[in-house]
């Protein structure tokens, strides 16, 4: 490889990153974009844009970058204007000023497609590209994680605002600088034009190596062999697509998506279902059988979906975040204890689905890393005259909002301080007002706990949910203590 007398990282640099509606470069859209301009001896100049993409932002994408459809539509710019300003910011890109892009074929191909969509013209790279993902695979080999986070950790780069376009663009620039220092011969002192061409070769080799790996997995006994072979063909067809895949290869339109036979798998049975051959669809957040007729999965055969609005349900009832204490005479005799595990899975899937996989109070999505999940919660009304506890609504809450709602249980678990902070954060209450709210909720709870309530779950019976009678009133206290002991 041709080398230079001075490392290219000592000169001017540009870094680019997009957060998007998905991973399909031909059809998905830009949501946020950032261009970072780095001039030696100066602080980085960071320009960031929010676009109104004109399409819905799927919940799984919003969970990554934090931008909802509503927020983008309200605050975002016209995509055509965003593209114009991005290209303006990229104007210094030249033979002497490289563009740093992590996973360049994705971001640059998406930019190309967006320009065709909004300006009816194509686009070509204006200078050399440096792609830390391609470099990382070349320097460290294909095995192991090669995500931006994993490579930053390996090379000692501190990430800030991960999964935001600004944070990832800065991390990409810092990572490229670190890699150039760590591999001076292969990267740091390579002439930019030579390094660009070397990445074309490395990427092609990496893609062909991955295709071979997929083909090795496509053994005769593998039920997904055909899909693996098709995926390998797709990978090979895109092997010459670094740093920009301008057209989708014809092979892509021939690929058939595997048929999913949906299952209703309760959370407690997921390991058993997985061992029996069930697969998890990350997009739909649901288990499925990879092929029809799998007898070992028949016990989880899907029932008919529950309608998004239950008969008689009032979705305006009990809005917002407040402490909602269940009377002690009703502890652990809720909807979940009165329906089968499969029916509960149907209800849970409907509740989270109609909420677009976000908490209906604080608007946040699920975050596995922080232990924040989406949970179903019941809103009840209480009729003192008839002593009836009536289910009025089912609502999707995140773990934090659910913990604040069940403040008494939070106290039992030693999480009451955390629950109070979250209550204040979401509602805007002062600490004093929040404590007064909690006290009032406990006073109401004490009054209601002197009554043995009859459950009215009639909004469930008209949608094919089979109810089992709750425990007898005299048995409920013992059940509650047993369940608390088990959970603690």
Judged against a pLDDT cut of 60, whether residue 487 lies above it is answered with no
pTM across the whole model: 0.52
Supply the pLDDT for residue 98: 97
Judged against a pLDDT cut of 70, whether residue 246 lies above it is answered with no
Position 329 confidence tier, pLDDT thresholds 50, 70, 90: confident
Taking phi over 0 as left and psi of -120 to 50 as alpha, with beta for the rest, 262 belongs to beta
What is the CATH code for 8-254? Answer: 3.30.420.10
Supply the pLDDT for residue 381: 96
Supply the pLDDT for residue 4: 56
Supply the pLDDT for residue 252: 34
Position 254 confidence tier, pLDDT thresholds 50, 70, 90: very low
Q: Is 357:60 a contact under the CB 8 Å cutoff? A: yes
User: Rounded to an integer, what distance in angstroms lies between the CA atom of residue 49 and that of residue 20?
Assistant: 12
- Could you state, in order of their start, the residue ranges of all structural domains in the chain? 8-254, 261-300, 328-487
Question: What distance lies between CA 49 and its chain's CA centroid?
Answer: 21
Task: Show the CA angle centred on residue 82, arms to residues 81 and 86, nearest 5°.
Answer: 120
Q: Is 209:85 a contact under the CB 8 Å cutoff? A: no
User: Rounded to an integer, what distance in angstroms lies between the CA atom of residue 272 and that of residue 290?
Assistant: 16
Task: Show the CA angle centred on residue 126, arms to residues 49 and 55, nearest 5°.
Answer: 35
Supply the pLDDT for residue 162: 86
CA distances from 430 to 325, 418, 420, 437, 440 (A): 21, 14, 10, 10, 15
DSSP state of 3: B
Supply the pLDDT for residue 304: 87
Judged against a pLDDT cut of 60, whether residue 484 lies above it is answered with no
The whole-number average pLDDT for the span 362-377 is 90
Position 257 confidence tier, pLDDT thresholds 50, 70, 90: very low
Judged against a pLDDT cut of 90, whether residue 455 lies above it is answered with no
The whole-number average pLDDT for the span 320-341 is 85
User: Rounded to an integer, what distance in angstroms lies between the CA atom of residue 137 and that of residue 198?
Assistant: 13
The whole-number average pLDDT for the span 68-72 is 94
Q: Which of the two residues, 357 and 101, has the higher pLDDT score?
A: 101
280 membership: H or E segment, kind and range: strand 279-281
Position 447 confidence tier, pLDDT thresholds 50, 70, 90: very high
Supply the pLDDT for residue 285: 78
Q: Is 286:439 a contact under the CB 8 Å cutoff? A: no
CA distances from 158 to 38, 155, 167, 198 (A): 18, 9, 10, 27
Supply the pLDDT for residue 263: 93
User: Rounded to an integer, what distance in angstroms lies between the CA atom of residue 181 and that of residue 377?
Assistant: 53
Q: In terms of Cα–Cα distance, which of 384, 389, 283 is closest to 338?
A: 389
CA distances from 195 to 109, 137, 190, 299 (A): 20, 14, 6, 56
Supply the pLDDT for residue 284: 74
Question: What distance lies between CA 92 and its chain's CA centroid?
Answer: 34
Q: In terms of Cα–Cα distance, which of 376, 380, 379 is closest to 354?
A: 376
Judged against a pLDDT cut of 70, whether residue 251 lies above it is answered with no
């Amino acid at each position: 490889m041709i080398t230079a007398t001075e490392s290219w990282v000592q000169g001017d640099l540009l870094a680019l990153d997009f957060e998007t509606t998905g991973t399909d470069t031909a059809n998905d859209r830009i949501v946020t974009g950032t261009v970072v301009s780095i001039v030696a001896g100066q602080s980085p100049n960071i320009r960031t844009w929010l676009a109104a993409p004109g399409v819905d932002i799927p919940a799984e994408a919003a969970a990554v970058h934090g931008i909802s459809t509503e927020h983008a539509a309200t605050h975002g710019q016209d995509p055509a204007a965003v593209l114009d300003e991005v290209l303006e910011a990229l104007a210094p890109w030249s033979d002497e000023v490289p563009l740093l892009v992590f996973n360049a074929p994705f971001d640059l191909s998406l930019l190309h497609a967006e320009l065709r969509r909004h300006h009816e013209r194509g686009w070509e790279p204006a200078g050399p590209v440096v792609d830390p993902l391609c470099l990382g695979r070349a320097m460290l080999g294909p095995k192991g994680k090669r995500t931006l986070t994993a490579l930053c950790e390996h090379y000692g780069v501190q990430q800030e605002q991960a999964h935001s376009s600004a944070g990832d663009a800065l991390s990409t620039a810092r990572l490229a600088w670190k890699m150039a220092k760590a591999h001076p011969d292969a990267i740091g002192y390579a002439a930019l034009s030579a390094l660009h061409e070397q990445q074309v070769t490395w990427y092609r080799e990496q893609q062909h190596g991955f295709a071979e790996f997929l083909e090795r997995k496509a053994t005769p006994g593998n039920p997904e062999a055909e899909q693996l072979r098709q995926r390998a063909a797709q990978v090979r067809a895109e092997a010459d697509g670094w740093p920009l895949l301008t057209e989708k290869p014809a092979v892509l339109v021939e690929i058939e998506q595997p048929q999913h036979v949906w299952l209703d798998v309760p959370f407690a049975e997921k390991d058993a279902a997985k061992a029996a051959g069930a697969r998890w669809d990350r997009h739909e957040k649901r288990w499925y059988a990879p092929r029809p007729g799998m007898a070992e999965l028949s016990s989880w055969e899907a029932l008919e979906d529950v309608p998004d609005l239950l008969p008689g349900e009032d979705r305006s009832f009990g809005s917002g975040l407040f402490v909602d204490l269940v009377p002690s005479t009703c502890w652990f005799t809720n909807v979940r204890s009165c329906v089968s595990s499969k029916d509960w899975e149907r209800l849970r899937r409907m509740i989270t689905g109609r909420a677009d996989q976000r908490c209906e109070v604080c608007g946040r999505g699920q975050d596995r890393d922080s232990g924040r999940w989406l949970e179903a919660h019941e809103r009840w009304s209480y009729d003192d005259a008839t002593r009836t506890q009536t289910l009025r609504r089912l609502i999707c809450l995140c773990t934090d909002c659910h913990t604040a709602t069940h403040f008494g249980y939070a106290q039992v678990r030693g999480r009451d301080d955390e629950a109070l902070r979250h209550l204040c954060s979401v509602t805007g209450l002062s600490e004093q007002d929040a404590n007064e709210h909690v006290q009032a909720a406990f006073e109401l709870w004490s009054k209601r706990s002197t009554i043995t309530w009859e459950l009215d779950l009639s909004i469930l019976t008209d949608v094919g949910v089979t109810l089992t009678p709750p425990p007898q009133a005299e048995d409920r206290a013992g059940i509650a203590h047993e369940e608390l002991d088990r959970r603690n």
